[in-house]
Amino acid sequence: MALWIWYRRTGPTAGLQITALALVWGGAAGNLWDRLRMSRGVVDFIDVGLGGTRFWVFNVADAAITIGAVVLALILSRPHPGSGTS
């Protein structure tokens, strides 16, 4: 619900913020769909590593949530024009 309210309060010229919100929302919806559809829950299928070193195993929905969240964090960390902060 918070993402929907945030989206509704976002102006039409804030394309990057809208895209980031869509990534988070879409990733969460994808993971929810997998949990409802499959008895095993969400299937992580992307396994990245180099030699014997393995990184986290994830899926496309996880990647979308992470990218969207990082972009939103960067947007929120920047001062907004007209807010009185420099």
To the query of whether residue 62 is one of the catalytic residues in this protein, the response is yes
Catalytic residue among 19, 32, 44, 57: 44
DSSP one-letter string for 11-76: -TT-HHHHHHHHHHHHHHHHHHHHHHH-TT-PPP-EEEEETTEEEEEE-HHHHHHHHHHHHHHHHH
Q: Is the Cβ–Cβ distance between 10 and 17 less than 8 Å?
A: yes
Q: Is the Cβ–Cβ distance between 22 and 61 less than 8 Å?
A: no
Catalytic residue among 6, 30, 62, 75: 62
Catalytic residue positions, numbered = 44, 62
